[in-house]
């Protein structure tokens, strides 16, 4: 460490943190320190798109969180993987390029967050985006974060598309259009056969700057306050604790689980909770850790009567050799794409004006995401509710920063969420029973033929799992909202010099995958911090 004092300290080198570190250090007059608890992103499995089947379980680059037993899923604990390396979850995620719906961001604005409507955020989505095919007015080909099209058609995805068309869902080449509804191939956050994480897109070009210090393997312990002003951060590194000073601001970008944890450890949060662990109160902020939201996925698995799945390639040495050669010689094939190729957004509830469910079509099958593939030809249809009503919370269980907080997801805790889960599974089964997909299917492996709504709901309770999108635990909101942790400039209420910039700031879940919204959030936050808007 060459310095112990910086203008800006960014805590968390993940999807948002890498963006902030890069943008704030573009001005050579700003000294910036980025702190990441995990290692550098050197694992080859990070950079190989299909490698997240490995990083999903690797404690070196994954926090491997577990929720508390949840009544909504029959008291099961749900595994929550989160990135613990430069790039954060963008280094281990499923690579899907989705922004969400225009209406999501207009809803943020209407909740009392000026500057976060669709017209406000679109320029920042475009600032980040380097699309290989789509361009103005809704896209850009100039940004650092790459969005690449899947180059080769897959017979399973083609059958899925035609089946959805038969059920009235139109084909689309852009799920990030103003109308999200449709079926087609996802674009992926890849570039020339490699994963394009925020560490690759933003941090790698910025590393050479003299005004940017990057500290890996450095655990943030607490924010240091003086008279309610954040002036630094205490870190644990190389076996000892030290304090880094921030001349201007401390910015937390440690995600929807650890940003509220770090605030609570630092004395900002519900007073009663902090008293329980003898943490000196800096500011009583009851919303810290509340409003937790996540997408719960229901995975339906089918056996195919033709050897066209990735299972078939992975189950033979010849198939594995061909996959390897495709990637080595052409940067193509399954290794360059990942698992989920096909997508579908549609409505299953009568009151929904926009799509309320999302499908991820995987050309392989396993008992759980990232698990060992089945010995038969198989595929997976994962379906999730886009805008769940259920809310959970994150609360520390110790004053020790190395002990993870307790996570209560409260999945399917409202009747609406249960109804839409049943309707989503019914719709997925309808797809499987419709031509031309039906002719490719030998049998339904999961949910194994439940008949009644009660049986389908029980399947959801016994098998539902996260699709890795926790958000909302430090929500932004107006002064009139007692549970709002941040103002619309992402500043922590009641203190100075402290912001939170990550998915925890989102008041509601975007309708889709959360990585690109996290990037957009950081792009706009950089301009807010630097006084450009």
Question: CB-hemisphere CA count at 13 Å for 422?
Answer: 15
Look-up of token digits 């995620």:
93
Question: CB-hemisphere CA count at 13 Å for 161?
Answer: 17
Is residue 180 located within the same domain as residue 261? Answer: no
Q: What is the pLDDT of residue 312?
A: 85
Instruction: Let me know if residue 398 belongs to a domain.
Output: no
Instruction: Let me know if residue 406 belongs to a domain.
Output: no
Using a pLDDT cut of 90, give the percent of the chain over it: 90
What tokens appear for 250 in the block? 């401390």
Is residue 131 located within the same domain as residue 278? Answer: yes
Instruction: Let me know if residue 179 belongs to a domain.
Output: yes
List the CATH number of the domain containing 231.
Answer: 3.50.50.60
Q: What is the pLDDT of residue 322?
A: 82
Pairing of β 406-408 and β 229-237? unpaired
Instruction: Assess whether pLDDT exceeds 80 at residue 406.
Output: yes
Q: Which of 431, 463, 495 is the last residue of a domain?
A: 463
How far lies 458's CA from each of 91, 451, 454, 455, 464, in Å?
34, 11, 6, 5, 10
Is residue 101 located within the same domain as residue 6? Answer: yes
Is residue 143 located within the same domain as residue 170? Answer: no
Q: What is the pLDDT of residue 325?
A: 83
Pairing of β 268-269 and β 5-11? unpaired
Instruction: Let me know if residue 61 belongs to a domain.
Output: no
Instruction: Assess whether pLDDT exceeds 80 at residue 2.
Output: no
Q: Which of 47, 298, 374, 469 is catalytic?
A: 469
DSSP state of 203: I
Consecutive H or E run containing 251: strand 240-252
**Span 462-482, pLDDT tens digits:** 999 999 999 999 999 999 999
Average pLDDT of the segment spanning 33-49:
96
DSSP code per residue over 161-172? HHHHHHTTPPB-
Q: What is the pLDDT of residue 327?
A: 84
**Span 137-169, pLDDT tens digits:** 999 999 999 999 998 999 999 999 999 999 999
Give dist(CA 260, CA 405) in Å, integer.
Answer: 9
Using a pLDDT cut of 70, give the percent of the chain over it: 100
Q: What's phi and psi for 389, nearest 5 deg?
A: -85, -25
> Who has greater pLDDT, 74 or 448?
74
The maximal CA–CA distance of the chain, rounded, in angstroms, is: 69
Range of the domain at 228: 1-53+80-150+196-292+470-533
List the CATH number of the domain containing 163.
Answer: 3.30.410.40
Is residue 497 located within the same domain as residue 515? Answer: yes
Q: Which of 424, 440, 463 is the last residue of a domain?
A: 463
Is residue 476 located within the same domain as residue 502? Answer: yes
Instruction: Assess whether pLDDT exceeds 70 at residue 1.
Output: no
Q: What is the pLDDT of residue 373?
A: 87
Contacts of range 56-60, beta carbons closer than 8 Å, 24 or more positions apart = 56/81, 56/92, 56/369, 56/370, 57/81, 57/370, 60/84, 60/85
Q: What's phi and psi for 433, nearest 5 deg?
A: -100, 5
Is residue 261 located within the same domain as residue 364? Answer: no
Is residue 376 located within the same domain as residue 521? Answer: no
Is residue 86 located within the same domain as residue 6? Answer: yes
Instruction: Let me know if residue 345 belongs to a domain.
Output: yes
Q: What is the 3-state secondary structure (H, E, C) of 411-464?
A: CCCCHHHHHHHHHHHHHHHHHHCCCCHHHHEEEEEECCCCCCHHHHHHHHHHHC
Is residue 437 located within the same domain as residue 516? Answer: no
What total number of domains does the chain contain? 2
Give dist(CA 325, CA 321) in Å, integer.
Answer: 6
Give dist(CA 242, CA 309) in Å, integer.
Answer: 52
Q: What is the pLDDT of residue 314?
A: 79
Is residue 10 located within the same domain as residue 146? Answer: yes
Q: What is the mean pLDDT of the chain?
A: 95
Cβ-based neighbour number of residue 521 at 10 Å: 28
> Who has greater pLDDT, 323 or 107?
107
Q: Which of 463, 480, 506 is the last residue of a domain?
A: 463
Instruction: Let me know if residue 24 belongs to a domain.
Output: yes
* Residue 283 designated active-site: no
Give dist(CA 184, CA 187) in Å, integer.
Answer: 10
């Amino acid at each position: 460490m060459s310095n112990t004092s910086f203008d800006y300290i960014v805590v968390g080198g993940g999807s948002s943190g890498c963006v902030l570190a890069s943008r704030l250090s573009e001005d050579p007059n700003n000294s910036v320190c980025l702190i990441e608890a995990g290692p550098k992103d050197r694992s080859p499995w990070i950079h190989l798109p299909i490698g997240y089947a490995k990083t999903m379980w690797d404690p070196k680059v994954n926090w491997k969180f577990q929720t508390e037993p949840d009544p909504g899923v029959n008291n099961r604990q749900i595994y929550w993987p989160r990135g613990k390396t430069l790039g954060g979850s963008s280094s281990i995620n499923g690579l899907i390029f989705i922004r969400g719906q225009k209406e999501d961001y207009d809803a943020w604005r209407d909740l009392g967050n000026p500057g976060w409507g669709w017209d406000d955020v679109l320029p920042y989505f475009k600032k980040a985006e380097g699309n290989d095919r789509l361009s103005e007015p809704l896209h850009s080909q100039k940004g650092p974060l790459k969005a690449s099209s899947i180059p080769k058609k897959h017979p399973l995805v083609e059958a899925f598309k035609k089946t959805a068309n038969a059920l009235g869902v139109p084909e689309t080449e852009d799920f990030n259009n103003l109308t999200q509804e449709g079926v087609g191939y996802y674009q992926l956050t890849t570039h020339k056969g490699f994963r394009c994480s925020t560490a690759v897109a933003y941090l790698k070009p910025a590393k050479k700057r003299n005004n940017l210090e990057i500290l890996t393997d450095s655990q943030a312990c607490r924010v240091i306050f003086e008279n309610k002003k954040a002036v630094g951060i205490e870190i644990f590194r190389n076996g000892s604790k030290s304090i880094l000073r921030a001349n201007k601001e401390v910015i937390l970008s440690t995600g929807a689980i650890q940003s509220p944890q770090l605030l609570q450890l630092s004395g900002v949060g519900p007073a009663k909770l902090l008293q329980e662990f003898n943490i000196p109160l800096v500011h009583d902020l009851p919303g810290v850790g509340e409003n937790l939201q996540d997408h719960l996925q229901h995975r339906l698995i089918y056996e195919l009567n033709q050897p066209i799945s990735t299972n078939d390639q992975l189950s033979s040495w010849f198939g594995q050799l061909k996959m390897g050669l495709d990637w080595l010689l052409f940067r193509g094939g399954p290794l360059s794409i990942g698992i989920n190729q096909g997508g579908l957004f549609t409505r299953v509830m009568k009151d929904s004006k926009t799509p309320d469910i999302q499908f991820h079509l995987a050309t392989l099958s396993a008992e759980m995401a990232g698990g060992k593939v089945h010995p038969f030809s198989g595929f997976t249809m994962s379906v999730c509710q886009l805008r769940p009503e259920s809310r959970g919370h994150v609360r520390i269980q110790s004053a020790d920063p190395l002990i993870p907080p307790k996570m209560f997801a409260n999945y399917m805790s409202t009747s609406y969420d249960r109804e839409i889960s049943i309707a989503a599974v019914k719709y997925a089964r309808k797809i499987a029973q419709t031509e031309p997909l039906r002719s490719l299917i030998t049998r339904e492996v999961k949910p194994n033929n439940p008949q009644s709504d009660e049986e389908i709901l029980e399947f959801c309770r016994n098998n539902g799992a996260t699709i890795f999108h926790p958000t909302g635990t430090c929500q932004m909101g107006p002064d009139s909202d007692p549970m709002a942790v941040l103002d619309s400039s992402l500043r922590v209420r009641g203190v100075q010099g402290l912001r939170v910039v990550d998915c925890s700031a989102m008041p509601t879940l975007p309708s889709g995958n959360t990585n690109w919204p996290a990037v957009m959030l950081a792009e706009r936050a950089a301009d807010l911090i630097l006084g450009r808007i």
